[in-house]
Structure 1
Amino acid sequence: MMAGRARGHVDGSAIRLLIIVLLGVAAIAVPWLTHNQLVERREAVAAAWADVESNLQRRAELVPNLVRSLQAHMDYEGETLTQLVRERAQGLREALNEARGDPARLARLEAALTHDLGRLMSRAGEHPELRSGDQFLRFQAQLEGSDNRINVARMRYNAAVRDYNASLEGFFGRWVADAMGLLPGDYFEAPAGAHEPLVVEF
């Protein structure tokens, strides 16, 4: 009878000790795993943003070549437009070098370039000799491909931001994020009125 009581007492103590150990492990493991998840998702956002920047840079570098191929065929009004497009592309390139991690600014610059480039391509469509030229057609195809890559990169970046921000809003994520000083990511959102696609078909 005494042995049974002792065994029950030992078993109860062992269970309590096991619970304390498990709680201690959970108290260490949960923040550690949450920290690792947040770091991983923050890096995914950075990698996706680098893809957006890379594709914006490629597009901004294509534009001067396109402008050079158009200049000989443009009248005064067209020359003013080609100059504006060239300046927009230069502004985007400079912003990519200066304003790393500023999606709102880059979205505004990219939308302005897209708008004016669309106007320029429309004007270029008035010249049959351009429409049939190999160089112009090559630039046209490159711009279409560049726009598609930018769109895919934007979607991937926004998906990475969504996952990261959702992790920050989790129960444990908030505590760990506050301790690490992590802030939510910004989505790459086009400004109002920039939703129309660039039309380059004639």
Structure 2
Amino acid sequence: MNKPMKIALIIVGILIILGIPIGSYNNLVSLEQNVNTSSSNIDTQLQRRSDLIPNLVNTVKGYATQEKTIFTDIANARSKLAGAANVSDKANADNELSGALSRLLVVVENYPDLKSNQNFKDLSIQLEGTENRIAIARQDYNTAVNNYNTKRRRFPSNIIASLFGFQEKTLYKASEGAKEVPPVDFTK
């Protein structure tokens, strides 16, 4: 092998060796950004729901003034969701708010005039659409986290991830209490 050929092979080898870490790093950055975007999309949909809830609650309050505990539960859950610091806290607060909303919608069944109120119907439809958007945003987030965490653990990306501090991301999970149907008691 002549000298120019050896030099060319060495240069190609160096480029390949440098290309793998750079490609892995850039891929991890892209996947991490996708996780961040997906998380932000969940926040956007949760905020949309939080913005709809006061209108829905005020509409129901006009008909169901004696259901104060449900209104208080909804307000408390909204506050917890607004103050959630991480994915687990958001999931727990989100589940608590969903449970309170479920109880509110069960209460509505006792007020036939309320169910026929156009404002309530419109808000209910918007809330249902938002709940669907939240479910899709959660799925998209978990897919992004799964792709990121898988890439982060595979060789040679695991070396790059540890060198540059790419941390594992947390999946959006329902809290333990979300598996139970919320109790509704009309005797109070």
Q: Quote the residue 2:37 is aligned against.
A: 47
Specify which of 5, 10, 14 is matched with residue 24 of structure 1. Answer: 14
Asked if 2 retains the 8 angstrom alpha-carbon contact of 1:64 and 1:89, the reply is: no
Describe the shift of the 1:196–1:48 C-alpha distance in structure 2 as closer, same or farther (beyond 3 A): farther
Describe the shift of the 1:48–1:104 C-alpha distance in structure 2 as closer, same or farther (beyond 3 A): same
TM-score scaled by length of structure 2: 0.90
> Which stretches in structure 2 are left out of the alignment for 5+ residues?
183-188
Deviations 1:139-168 (A, max 9, x none): 110110010000010111111111111110
The CA distance in 1 between the partners of 2:72 and 2:177, in whole Å, is 23
Describe the shift of the 1:193–1:88 C-alpha distance in structure 2 as closer, same or farther (beyond 3 A): closer
Describe the shift of the 1:133–1:125 C-alpha distance in structure 2 as closer, same or farther (beyond 3 A): same
Query: How many pairs are equivalent?
Result: 182
Consecutive aligned runs of 4 or more in structure 1 exceeding 4 Å deviation: 12-16, 195-198
Q: Quote the residue 1:70 is aligned against.
A: 60
Please say if 1:191 is aligned against 2:181.
no
The CA distance in 1 between the partners of 2:181 and 2:2, in whole Å, is 70
Specify which of 73, 78, 102 is matched with residue 84 of structure 1. Answer: 73
The CA distance in 1 between the partners of 2:180 and 2:146, in whole Å, is 24
AA in 1 matched with 2:49: R
The CA distance in 1 between the partners of 2:157 and 2:58, in whole Å, is 52
The CA distance in 2 between the partners of 1:197 and 1:64, in whole Å, is 23
AA in 2 matched with 1:38: L
Q: Quote the residue 1:111 is aligned against.
A: 95
Structure 1 vs Structure 2 CA RMSD: 1.9
Q: Quote the residue 2:159 is aligned against.
A: 175
What is the aligned-residue identity percentage? 27
The CA distance in 2 between the partners of 1:108 and 1:43, in whole Å, is 24
Name which one, 1 or 2, has greater alpha-carbon Rg.
1
Shift of 1:136: 0.7
The CA distance in 2 between the partners of 1:91 and 1:73, in whole Å, is 26
TM-score scaled by length of structure 1: 0.84
> Which stretches in structure 1 are left out of the alignment for 5+ residues?
1-10
Deviations 1:103-133 (A, max 9, x none): 1100000000101110111011110000100
Deviations 1:48-78 (A, max 9, x none): 11000010111112111111111122243x1
AA in 2 matched with 1:24: I
Describe the shift of the 1:84–1:23 C-alpha distance in structure 2 as closer, same or farther (beyond 3 A): same
